[in-house]
Amino acid sequence: MRDTVLDLQGPPLPRGRGAISAAVIAHLTTGEPLPVSAVADADPYEDDLQLALYVCYELHYRGFGGVDPRSEWDPELLELRRGLEDRFLAALRHDASRHATVTDALAELLVEPVQGGGVSHFLRDQGELWQVKEYAIQRSLYHLKEADPHAWVLPRLRGRAKAGMAAVEFDEFGGGHAERIHAGLFADLMVDLGLDATYGRHVDAAPAQMLAVVNLMSLFGLHRALRGCLIGHFATVEITSSPGSARLAAAMRRTGAGRAAEFFYTEHVEADAVHEQVVRREVIAGLLEDEPHLEADIAFGVDTTIFLEDCLAGHVLGAWRDGRSSLNVIGA
């Protein structure tokens, strides 16, 4: 596999954060063996496993500079990835599962708390510009490829669910206008903030909690068996996006982040309010009509998304309230 032309277009490989992630990176560059047996003892939520999983998944998106593009289907790497996924998924089923039905899972999301305590509330009410920049750095791991993980599910749907999902994705990808692709709008936001908007630039700065949030999308998206979970995840993102984006737009305005920074979130306030209705009435309803046995999976997708976002919020707000950076030390 190592004698082919290397991919020169992708981002650089990140730095390892433990034995497994370092071995994955070395395998991609020099062909060193992978420590498959070490996965059984890895903490499912910590840096080493999450970075190793992120690197494996990124091979299915833009890959890495200097890495053989065929590594995407490297059997040894896929075997290791399966072990990482099993460890992560088992932990989530144990720690995050709360609801058996879609109605129960979505009920809490459809009611805005009178006094919220999340990251968007903090940034709106008291966040400083340096904290806004940290938030953008972390979220860049997803927003610079916004909607890509969800696109994996389209071939796995049919009828109303597929049509509704495609309609929402069309908007996310700019509605046919390259300058309105949401990933590009987020890059503009980063430029307003004086940040490097290069794809993959900030992986080293992202803590394990942010890697886990992004990895969840790829985990659900890349497995047909988890298509219901992906729809649950997507519904959670769309339902919570509009009110959260309104708070973040206010934060950008208050801190003087810039017009493009504010526009990214004002764009999502209206668009995602519409998307929420489409996802609930067409995508979820259509999927349950076709495949009612996936209801528990949809609910699990909702639950895991909330769980990991809460873990990330706890990390970020804990650091900020102590006056510390929320970024990973080696990447800050």
Average pLDDT on 296-306 reads: 98
Alpha-carbon dihedral angle through residues 20, 23, 24, 26, given to the nearest 10 degrees:
160
Among 35-44, 165-174, 243-252, 265-274, the minimum mean pLDDT is found in 265-274
The answer to whether 51 touches 14, Cβ cutoff 8 Å, is yes
The values of phi and psi at residue 124, to 5°, are -65, -40
Helix (H/G/I), strand (E/B), else coil: 7: strand
Q: What is the pLDDT of residue 55?
A: 98
pTM of the model: 0.95
Which 8-state DSSP code applies to residue 326? -
Angle between helices 295-321 and 208-221 (to 10 degrees): 160
- Alpha helix (H) residue ranges in the chain: 19-30, 47-58, 75-95, 102-107, 119-125, 129-143, 148-151, 159-172, 182-192, 208-221, 227-255, 259-278, 285-290, 295-321
Average pLDDT on 183-192 reads: 97
Give the Cα separation of 226 and 209 in Å (integer): 21
Band of the pLDDT at 1, cuts 50, 70, 90? Answer: very low
pLDDT of residue 206 exceeding 80: yes
Q: What is the pLDDT of residue 2?
A: 45
Which 8-state DSSP code applies to residue 67? B
pLDDT of residue 7 exceeding 60: yes
pLDDT of residue 8 exceeding 90: no
Give the Cα separation of 224 and 63 in Å (integer): 21
Average pLDDT on 225-249 reads: 95
Give the Cα separation of 86 and 22 in Å (integer): 20
User: Tokens 């309803």 — which residue?
Assistant: 285
Residues 116-172 have pLDDT tens digits of: 789 999 999 999 999 999 999 999 999 999 999 999 999 999 999 999 999 999 999
Give the Cα separation of 189 and 265 in Å (integer): 9
Residues 18-31 have pLDDT tens digits of: 999 999 999 999 99
Give the Cα separation of 237 and 229 in Å (integer): 12
Residues 52-99 have pLDDT tens digits of: 999 999 999 999 999 999 999 999 999 999 999 999 999 999 999 999
Average pLDDT on 241-245 reads: 91
Give the Cα separation of 139 and 210 in Å (integer): 8
